[in-house]
Amino acid sequence: MSKIIMEDISVEFPGVKALQHVDCDFEGGRVKALVGANGAGKSTLMKVLSGVNAQYTGQIELDGVPVEIRSPSDAKRLGIEIVYQEVDTALVPNLSVGENVMMEYLVYGLGKGGVIDWNHLHTEAAKTLENLHVSLDTKQLVSALSLAQKQIVVIARAMLGHCKFLILDEPTAPLSVEETKNLFELVRRLRDKGIGVIFISHRLNELFEICDSITVLRDGQLIKTFELDEKTTIPDIVELMLGRVYNEAIDKSGRAIGGVLLNIKNLADNENRVQDICLNVRSGEIVGLSGLVGAGKTELCKTLFGAFGRQQGTILINDKKVRADTPAAAVKAGMAFIPEERRKEGIVVGESVMENLSLATLKNHARILSLLNHKSESRAADTKVADLKIKTPSIRQRVGLLSGGNQQKVTIGKWLDSGAEIYIFDEPTKGIDVGAKAEVYKLIVDLARKGKGIIYASSEQAEIMSLTDRVYVMYSGRIQKELVTADTNEAELLFYSTGGKNDAEQN
Amino acid sequence: MQNKTKSFSVGRFLTEWGALVAIFLSFIIFSFTAKSVFFSWANMITILRAISITTIIALGATFGFAAGVFDLSFGSIATIAAAFSITFMAWDNIPMPFAILLTLLACAAIGGINAFLVIKTHIPAFLATLGMMFILDGIELTYSGGSVINPKVAPAGKTIMMAIPDLFNRLGKAPLIIIIMLICIILVELFQHQTKHGRFLYMVGSNAEAARLSGVKVNFYRTLAFIMTAVFSGIGGILIASRAGTVAAGVGGSFLMPAIAAVNIGAAMGGRNKPNAVGTFVGAALIGVVENGLYALSFPYYAINIVKGLILLVALIMSNYANKEN
């Protein structure tokens, strides 16, 4: 059996120590889990192993021989293959399964004439798929496949070389239960053939099913490597992943939590991205939406705001049933949305600060024949810039030239005079610096002080703990658990986020 | 005044006001080189008259460019409008005001179909309107039987019901055609830069998703853009008919490219960096002045398009430079 030993691996980016002196080994014929919270260093470690991250220090040994992995082709030559979560980026949709599996042959193996031996291509591809015990027509177009099938095509391609180690980066996140089961069977078969599988997943309960051992990373350091047996429990792993408990103190005083402002019953979108959503928000209350990346938080926010079109279920605002099947209708019903993808969905980067600040409320500045009152528009913009402390040389500045934190303030600012009662924030502190984060928190608390209802979606448990009053934990597009923030902790949030069900399972 | 964070630079000045500078320079050059023909009041009127149809059709195109939907069918819409307006009167005996109104309504409907195709079927606008272009050209050819529509000569199976009113013929001549153009420029400029709807049109063009998630009805503004493009092409088409008195097949198509050029030459004007009415007029004027001057110099007719192409390329390179500097 082959064996990789990584010793004293460190990776440093400007200002960030992504990995610090990590020792880790992987063996053929075994499945090893790699877990850690967001930013723990899992991806960085795997990027080192797959040659994507060439700037590492430390030694790597393969079967006792020191090796250098400084490019993806180095890794391939050594038999290390990686399948990323976004399989679509690795496939050419309008080519056939056979062509995608045999990509290597098409790119490097054609010889001088450049003539494709279609017979060879399809028989080889079919043979590879057969070895994996999957039946897929090699002449079918990849664009017609399901996500799970696409994954198999990528894995099949990886198997074509003399693959010794296969890294699967969150392979089950987009899969259904049945598809996950099939994938696990495939993984077991690969393991039995002597291939070492490295399995990255946030779904901790899955690990017990498929993994032999587990390595936990936190803040770029290796915390512990151990065999997975019956004695290990999800809370044990969660504790190792989190380690410390930290609370940034946020002043949330001066709020009066009143009656139910927003009440959602059995909400679902038209493509079942989210299902059976029941939640409520009181005035002055900050309600968290917790969950891992891909749990459906963004989808819930967008469904509620009408961005996916007509929903199922009912939305009540102030006990009145409202229609919110388009964003325009949602705005009218009293909602405001600060989306996760700020530059793509929140602001119009090419336009001025003023035009962005008035985007949601331009009708306030329109007179007869919808002629604009430029004076009142710029006055309103000046006020917002002063109130939110937006750092910009002028309200005519293009908003794309501002820093991330100031762009986020503009995104929030456009709603301030909209009369919205409910503010939906989706990862509003993503990609902005610590100082700006604190300011955004303060803005949100200020809104709550004015009696607004706040929904705050975040995949950072620490943020949920320090900012919210109540929290709904999401898993797989559903609400897994409702918790009162004061009575819970990060470990419990993570427990439910990773698919934990109830207290009985913890034993 | 606009707050300029950067100090004055020659490059920036040229990109923002280059079209005006170029018109000014062309004026001086042609005034000296072709003094007797070019520099006269009558010739100025000729230039304005010559660019008026291009300008009006191009004004329509600014709506599409502003909202980020590229309409390729507007030249053919102009042809249809020309054919409809004249035949509604000559063949169908519809009084002039109603004939014009009906023509414009038909154009608006075509714009609406374009919008429907692009919004509901998600075909790229460029291709959907390419299809529409062929269909419209085909409809016009079928309608006219493939020959030039002459309101004085009835084709087989038709009778001439009404002589074209004198007022209709005057619409396409100076001074009326120039006045119509100026009114259109003012109206479009007011709409695009002084009203809420104009602002949203640009916002949709800049970032449709951000606009949508701010509560802007994106599809409404895309539809509006297609309809406005079609209506202004319709006005242009009616003026084509009125100026020539007859309608040749595909006559509107010859305005497609000059109009696109005018919009894009004018987009960089005044540092706006987006399609706008006044800039479009300046763009059309630049092309018109150069074309007229070259005629006055007896420049070979067939080579004039080479110069037009060069003007467009220089304008685009300059506005690209402006975008980079930002």
For residue A405, is it within any domain? yes
CA-based nearest distance B208→chain A, Å: 8
pLDDT at A245 over 60: no
pLDDT at A403 over 90: no
Q: Are A355 and A400 a contacting pair, CB within 8 Å? A: no
**What's the pLDDT at B323?**
64
Q: Are A381 and A356 a contacting pair, CB within 8 Å? A: no
Q: Cα A454 vs. chain centroid, distance in angstroms?
A: 21
Interhelix angle A404-413/A434-449, rounded to 10 degrees, is 10
Residues A96 and A114 in one domain: yes
Residues A29 and A62 in one domain: yes
Within 8 A of A346 by CB-CB distance, chain B residues are: 210, 213
Calculate the alpha carbon distances from A33 to A67, A200, A214 in Å: 23, 6, 4
Assign A222 to helix, strand or coil: strand
Q: Does an H or E element contain A42, and which?
A: helix A42-49
Which H, E and C letters describe chain B, residue by residue? CCCCCCCCCHHHHHHHHHHHHHHHHHHHHHHHHCHHHHCCHHHHHHHHHHHHHHHHHHHHHHHHHHHCCCCCCHHHHHHHHHHHHHHHHHCCCCCHHHHHHHHHHHHHHHHHHHHHHHHHHCCCHHHHHHHHHHHHHHHHHHHHCCCCECCCCCCCCCCCCCCCCHHHHHHCCCCHHHHHHHHHHHHHHHHHHHEHHHHHHHHHHHCHHHHHCCCCCHHHHHHHHHHHHHHHHHHHHHHHHHHHCCECCCCHHHHHHHHHHHHHHHHCHHHCCCCCHHHHHHHHHHHHHHHHHHHHCCCCHHHHHHHHHHHHHHHHHHHHHHHHHC
What is the C-alpha separation between B105 and B107, in angstroms, rounded? 5
Residues A127 and A269 in one domain: no
Q: Which residue of A has its CA nearest to B5?
A: A393
What is the C-alpha separation between A204 and A33, in angstroms, rounded? 9
CA-based nearest distance B3→chain A, Å: 7
Inspect the interface and report whether the beta carbons of A351 and B203 lie closer than 8 Å. Answer: yes
Q: Within 13 Å, how many C-alpha atoms sit on residue A352's CB side?
A: 19
Low-confidence ranges of chain B (pLDDT < 50): 1-6
Phi, psi for A52 (deg, rounded to 5):
-75, -35
Residues A69 and A108 in one domain: no
Inspect the interface and report whether the beta carbons of A359 and B210 lie closer than 8 Å. Answer: yes
Q: Are B274 and B116 a contacting pair, CB within 8 Å? A: no
Burial classification of residue A446, based on how many CB atoms lie within 10 Å of its CB (0-12 exposed, 13-18 middle, 19 or more buried): middle
Tokens of A468: 């919210």
Q: Which residue of A has its CA nearest to B191?
A: A371
DSSP of A104-125, one letter per residue?
HHHHHSSTTT----HHHHHHHH
Residues A390 and A471 in one domain: yes
Q: Cα B139 vs. chain centroid, distance in angstroms?
A: 22
Calculate the alpha carbon distances from A499 to A209, A477, A507 in Å: 14, 11, 15
Tens digit of pLDDT for each residue in A29-71?
A: 999 999 987 668 888 899 999 998 888 999 999 999 999 999 9
For residue A366, is it within any domain? yes
Q: Cα A57 vs. chain centroid, distance in angstroms?
A: 28
Q: Is B212 on the interface with A (CB under 8 A)?
A: yes
DSSP class of A94 = T
Tens digit of pLDDT for each residue in A372-393?
A: 999 999 999 999 999 999 988 9
Q: Are A88 and A150 a contacting pair, CB within 8 Å? A: yes
Note the residue count of chain A.
507
Nearest to B213 among A339, A351, A370 (CB): A339
Instruction: Tell me the average pLDDT across A149-175.
Output: 87
Range 2-41 of B in CB contact (< 8 A) with A: 2-3, 5
Number of A/B CB contacts below 8 angstroms equals 76
Inspect the interface and report whether the beta carbons of A363 and B194 lie closer than 8 Å. Answer: no
For residue A253, is it within any domain? no
Residues A415 and A491 in one domain: yes
Sheet holding A3-13, edge to edge: A16-27, A3-13, A56-62, A65-67
Phi, psi for A89 (deg, rounded to 5):
-70, -20
Nearest to A408 by CA among A439, A379, A386, A377: A439
Number of domains in chain A: 3
Nearest to B209 among A344, A359, A369 (CB): A344
pLDDT at A112 over 90: no
What is the C-alpha separation between A4 and A92, in angstroms, rounded? 31
Band (A401; pLDDT cuts 50, 70, 90): confident
CA-based nearest distance B14→chain A, Å: 21
Instruction: Tell me the average pLDDT across A253-261.
Output: 93
CA-based nearest distance B4→chain A, Å: 9
CA-based nearest distance A177→chain B, Å: 33
Q: Which residue of A has its CA nearest to B210?
A: A345
Inspect the interface and report whether the beta carbons of B212 and A327 lie closer than 8 Å. Answer: yes
Residues A65 and A6 in one domain: yes
Give the list of residues 6+ apart from residue A248 with CB closer than 8 angstroms, or none.
A462, A466
Q: Within 13 Å, how many C-alpha atoms sit on residue B79's CB side?
A: 29
- Give the range among A104-113, A131-140, A492-501 with minimum mean pLDDT: A104-113
DSSP of A253-281, one letter per residue?
-S----SEEEEEEEEE-TT-SS-SEEEEE
Nearest to A393 among B5, B209, B213 (CB): B5
CA-based nearest distance A439→chain B, Å: 22
Residues A143 and A264 in one domain: no
Burial classification of residue A175, based on how many CB atoms lie within 10 Å of its CB (0-12 exposed, 13-18 middle, 19 or more buried): middle
Can you say whether the dihedral through the CA atoms of A183, A189, A192, A193 is positive or negative?
negative
Q: Is B195 on the interface with A (CB under 8 A)?
A: yes
DSSP class of A227 = E
Helices first, then strands: H and E counts in chain A? 17, 20
Q: Are A51 and A111 a contacting pair, CB within 8 Å? A: no
Instruction: Tell me the average pLDDT across A105-117.
Output: 84
For residue A111, is it within any domain? yes
User: Omega of the bond prior to A327 within 30 degrees of 0, cis?
Assistant: no
Helix extents (H) in A226-339: 234-242, 297-304, 327-333
List, in sequence order, every residue forming a beta bridge with A218; answer none if it has no partner.
A221
Inspect the interface and report whether the beta carbons of A372 and B213 lie closer than 8 Å. Answer: no
Give the list of residues 6+ apart from residue B192 with CB closer than 8 angstroms, or none.
B62, B63, B66, B198, B201, B202, B276, B277
**The last residue of a domain, from among A187, A214, A244:** A244
DSSP class of A19 = E
Inspect the interface and report whether the beta carbons of A372 and B199 lie closer than 8 Å. Answer: yes
* Degrees, nearest 5: CA angle B187-B192-B196: 115
Inspect the interface and report whether the beta carbons of B197 and A397 lie closer than 8 Å. Answer: no
More confident of the two residues B296 and A468: A468
Q: Are A299 and A293 a contacting pair, CB within 8 Å? A: no
Q: Which residue of A has its CA nearest to B207?
A: A348
Band (A502; pLDDT cuts 50, 70, 90): low
Can you say whether the dihedral through the CA atoms of B36, B39, B42, B44 is positive or negative?
positive
Instruction: Tell me the average pLDDT across A161-172.
Output: 88
**The last residue of a domain, from among A114, A138, A160:** A160
Interhelix angle B96-121/B74-90, rounded to 10 degrees, is 150
Inspect the interface and report whether the beta carbons of A355 and B203 lie closer than 8 Å. Answer: yes
Terminal Cα-to-Cα distance of chain B (whole angstroms): 18
Instruction: Tell me the average pLDDT across A342-371.
Output: 93
Inspect the interface and report whether the beta carbons of A345 and B209 lie closer than 8 Å. Answer: yes
Residue A321 belongs to domain with CATH number = 3.40.50.300
- Give the range among A162-166, A169-173, A499-503, B45-49 with minimum mean pLDDT: A499-503
For residue A254, is it within any domain? no
Within 8 A of A347 by CB-CB distance, chain B residues are: 207, 210
Calculate the alpha carbon distances from A235 to A34, A210, A238, A354 in Å: 16, 18, 5, 49
Tens digit of pLDDT for each residue in A294-347?
A: 889 999 999 999 999 999 999 999 999 999 999 999 999 999 999 998 889 999
Q: Are A484 and A464 a contacting pair, CB within 8 Å? A: no
Assign A475 to helix, strand or coil: strand
For residue A384, is it within any domain? yes
Q: Which residue of B has its CA nearest to A304?
A: B213
Band (A498; pLDDT cuts 50, 70, 90): confident
CA-based nearest distance A289→chain B, Å: 20
**What's the pLDDT at A247?**
45
Instruction: Tell me the average pLDDT across A165-169.
Output: 93
Which residue segment(s) compose the domain that A175 sits in? Answer: 1-79+162-244
Terminal Cα-to-Cα distance of chain A (whole angstroms): 35
pLDDT at A248 over 60: no
**What's the pLDDT at B309?**
87
Nearest to A370 among B196, B216, B326 (CB): B196
Tokens of A504: 């009985």
> Residues of A at the B interface (Cβ-Cβ below 8 Å)?
305, 307, 326-328, 330-332, 337, 339, 344-351, 355, 359-360, 362-363, 365-366, 369-372, 393-394, 396-398, 414
Residues A7 and A40 in one domain: yes
Within 8 A of A349 by CB-CB distance, chain B residues are: 206-207
Q: Which residue of A has its CA nearest to B1?
A: A396
Mutation for B interface: A298, A341, A362, A375, most B CBs within 10 A: A362
Assign A309 to helix, strand or coil: coil
Residues A322 and A197 in one domain: no
For residue A266, is it within any domain? yes
**What's the pLDDT at B8?**
66
CA-based nearest distance A476→chain B, Å: 24
Give the list of residues 6+ apart from residue B40 with CB closer than 8 angstroms, or none.
none
What Rg do the C-alpha atoms of chain B give, in angstroms? 20
Q: pTM higher than 0.80 for the full model?
A: no
pLDDT at A114 over 90: no
Inspect the interface and report whether the beta carbons of B195 and A398 lie closer than 8 Å. Answer: no
Residues A281 and A310 in one domain: yes
Mutation for B interface: A348, A356, A407, A416, most B CBs within 10 A: A348
Which H, E and C letters describe A403-453, residue by residue? CHHHHHHHHHHCCCCCCCCEEEEECCCCCCCHHHHHHHHHHHHHHHHCCCE
Tens digit of pLDDT for each residue in A174-228?
A: 777 788 888 999 999 999 999 999 999 877 888 888 999 999 998 889 999 999 8
Q: Which residue of A has its CA nearest to B197?
A: A370
Burial classification of residue A347, based on how many CB atoms lie within 10 Å of its CB (0-12 exposed, 13-18 middle, 19 or more buried): buried
Inspect the interface and report whether the beta carbons of B3 and A328 lie closer than 8 Å. Answer: no
CA-based nearest distance A418→chain B, Å: 10
Nearest to B145 by CA among B249, B250, B244, B245: B249
Within 8 A of A391 by CB-CB distance, chain B residues are: none
**What's the pLDDT at B9?**
73
What chain B holds in terms of domains, given with CATH numbers, is 11-325 (1.10.3470)
Assign A479 to helix, strand or coil: strand
Band (A359; pLDDT cuts 50, 70, 90): very high
Within 8 A of A344 by CB-CB distance, chain B residues are: 207, 209-210
What is the C-alpha separation between A113 and A131, in angstroms, rounded? 30
Q: Are B289 and B282 a contacting pair, CB within 8 Å? A: no
**What's the pLDDT at B185?**
97
Residues A274 and A365 in one domain: yes
DSSP of A125-183, one letter per residue?
HHHHHHHTT----TTSBGGGS-HHHHHHHHHHHHHHS---EEEEESTTTT--HHHHHHH
CA-based nearest distance B212→chain A, Å: 7
**The last residue of a domain, from among A160, A177, A203:** A160
For residue A1, is it within any domain? yes
Mutation for A interface: B3, B195, B206, B213, most A CBs within 10 A: B213
Within 8 A of A330 by CB-CB distance, chain B residues are: 215
Within 8 A of A326 by CB-CB distance, chain B residues are: 217
List, in sequence order, every residue forming a beta bridge with A320; answer none if it has no partner.
A317
**What's the pLDDT at B75?**
97
Mutation for B interface: A302, A303, A349, A351, most B CBs within 10 A: A351
Q: Are A225 and A237 a contacting pair, CB within 8 Å? A: no
Mutation for A interface: B214, B224, B272, B274, most A CBs within 10 A: B214
